[in-house]
Structure 1
Amino acid sequence: MTKEFTKSIEIAVQFIESKQMLDGSWCGNWGICFIYGTWFALSRLAAIDKTYNNCLSTRRGIDFLLSVQNEDGGWGKSYLSCPEQVLI
């Protein structure tokens, strides 16, 4: 991996981590917010081996998803979450 490539990844990780909300989620402004935004951020971090065991942002994101998971195992929520900027 080149030095430039490594630096680009570091910058991307810093950007992703800077957008994490206090509750551990990420807001996905392009769709229904928090669950999708958090999945997207976590999938990008996982692609570069940022795991629950070695990355605080990943751990906080996973803990957020587990905290809002429905009893049936899903994460269904209202479309109103995005405009209201809260999980509904």
Structure 2
Amino acid sequence: NDENGQEFGFTGEVLEVIPQEKIVHTQIFDPGDLGVSMGGEQSIITVTFEEADGVTNVATSINYASKADRDAAFSTGMTEGMELSYKELEGVLADL
């Protein structure tokens, strides 16, 4: 759900996992009732983990099928949602 209660989702497949280093997966956006179309093409997402001085840095790279898909994704406010998700994850991990 977004902040207005509108529902959306994602499907995908894990392509590669290197423990403590990298996860690569596909992602297809299901706009639900957001009313945003991204063409239904899959994106390739690479998440890397790098430890430095006891701190793990996480970097996410998203390769969209087209510039139009990328622009549509950004128009949804996805960057703010991703930042919120990473902050919540950081809090959960701190409690472990």
Bigger strand fraction? 2
Structure ranking higher in helix proportion: 1
Which category describes the TM-score, using the shorter chain as reference length?
under 0.3
Q: Answer with 1 or 2: which has the greater Rg.
A: 2
Normalised by the size of structure 2, how large is the TM-score? 0.24
1 or 2 for the larger relative contact order (CA 8 Å, sep ≥6)? 1
